[in-house]
Amino acid sequence: MSSQQYNPPTQSSAQDAVTIDASARTVHYKCGDCDQDVPLKRGEPIRCRNCGHRVLYKQRTNR
């Protein structure tokens, strides 16, 4: 083997990069029972805040 081996970048350089907080993003769903818009963040229970129904449909994105 050669004397020069590959050294992966250290963690400190990765921490300097700007990261997006995934828990701050909100995804909008529509309740299957009462048709109310339900915004959910990561880790929140999948349940309508109005009626408590557990079937939510993801809305299409507008690109």
How confident is the model at residue 11, as a pLDDT?
66
pLDDT tens-digit map of 1-56? 566 777 776 766 444 445 556 556 899 999 999 999 999 999 999 999 999 999 99
The pLDDT value recorded for residue 20 is: 56
What does DSSP assign to residue 31?
Answer: E
Phi-psi region for residue 14, left (φ > 0), alpha (ψ -120 to 50) or beta? alpha
Quote the pLDDT of residue 62: 81
pTM above threshold 0.85: no
Q: What is the pLDDT of residue 2?
A: 61
- Segments making up each domain of the chain, as ranges: 26-63
Looking at 3.90.1300.10, 2.20.28.30, 1.10.1200.10, 2.60.40.10, the CATH number of the domain 26-63 comes to: 2.20.28.30
